[in-house]
Amino acid sequence: MMHRFMRKMVLGLSGLALVGAMAGTVQAAEPADVFIKRISSDVLDTARDNTRVKAGDTSVILNLVEQKIIPYVDFQRMTALAAGRFWRQATPEQQAALIAEFRSLLIYTYSGALTKVADQRVTFQPLRTEPTDGDVEVRSMVTQSRGQPIQLNYRVEKSGDGWKVYDVNIFGAWLVESYKNTFSSEITKNGMDGLIKTLQAKNKERAAAFSTSAAKN
């Protein structure tokens, strides 16, 4: 009898310890919306106050993006989702190449948006998930002096003690979903290598445009 009781005690105590440990780690991490708020305020404040950014100095902009945005984005997952069922069929080299090219495309494309940051204000809507959820959608609205408010949502996943963004939604359109069809029709026509080549060509154009613009500044 003592034996069984002891066993129960040990089990019970370990159970408690485990729950305590888990609760401890969850509380130590910041909630997803706080994370997004922190990152986006940081980026927006920098973009707004930095005159070089506003002037369109591309090296400064790219630097800003590298430092304050890239570390928090899961490009691998984003690319895998955009490639859909073709992802599994690709070789590791193709996957790596695709991730790199897609990442460049997104950086070149959306860095430009940072020059337009002016008087926008961002408000966040309450999270609709449990604090222990590992995959969360953070919803926000961007209000500006002209035009209607812009809905801006993020899909974030837990990554270690923090979060990483793997999809963004503007005006109801998810980024990954918007590229899915283009990727899939390109792959169907020219294969995965064809898609990678197309992206490379486009990125080369953009890089050239960026460096001439940087040279001007």
Partner 1 sequence: MNVFITSPAANAVTTDTMAHRRSGRYQAMLLASAGLLLLGGCASSGAPREAAQEVSSQDGRSGVKGDPLEGYNRAIYSFNDTVDRYALKPVASAYRDYTPSFFQTAVGNFFGNLRDLYSAMNGILQGNGEGAGLDVARVALNSSFGLLGLLDIATEAGIPRQNRDFGQTLGRYGVGAGPYIVLPLLGPSTLRDTAALPVDFYGDAWSYMDPVYIRNIGTGVRIVDKRAALLNATGLVEDAALDKYAFTRDAYMQYRASQIEQARHPEDFQLDPRAQAQ
Q: Does 200 bind partner 1 (CB under 8 A)?
A: no
Looking only at residues 124 through 163 of this chain, which bind partner 1 when binding is defined by CB under 8 A? 124-125, 135, 141, 143, 145-149, 151, 155
Q: Does 202 bind partner 1 (CB under 8 A)?
A: yes
Query: Can you tell me the distance from the alpha carbon of 78 to that of 165, in angstroms, rounded to the nearest whole number?
Result: 9
Distances (CA, A) of 5 to 1, 9, 10, 12, 129: 6, 6, 9, 10, 39
Q: Does 210 bind partner 1 (CB under 8 A)?
A: no
DSSP string, 55-73: TT-HHHHHHHHHHHTGGGB
Q: Does 199 bind partner 1 (CB under 8 A)?
A: yes
User: Which is nearer to partner 1, 6 or 113 (by Cβ)?
Assistant: 113
Q: Taking the complex as a whole, how short is the minimal distance between the CB of residue 83 and partner 1, in angstroms? A: 9
Q: Does 118 bind partner 1 (CB under 8 A)?
A: no
Query: Can you tell me the distance from the alpha carbon of 159 to that of 179, in angstroms, rounded to the nearest whole number?
Result: 24
User: Which is nearer to partner 1, 61 or 81 (by Cβ)?
Assistant: 81
Do β-strands 173-174 and 150-159 pair in parallel, antiparallel, or remain unpaired? unpaired
Q: Taking the complex as a whole, how short is the minimal distance between the CB of residue 5 and partner 1, in angstroms? A: 46
Which strands, in side-by-side order, build the sheet including 150-159?
Answer: 121-124, 135-143, 150-159, 162-170, 173-174
Judged by CB under 8 A, how many residues of this single chain contact partner 1?
54
User: Which is nearer to partner 1, 20 or 134 (by Cβ)?
Assistant: 134
Q: Does 99 bind partner 1 (CB under 8 A)?
A: no
Among residues 52, 68, 180, 197, the one that binds partner 1 under rule CB under 8 A: 180
Q: Does 122 bind partner 1 (CB under 8 A)?
A: yes
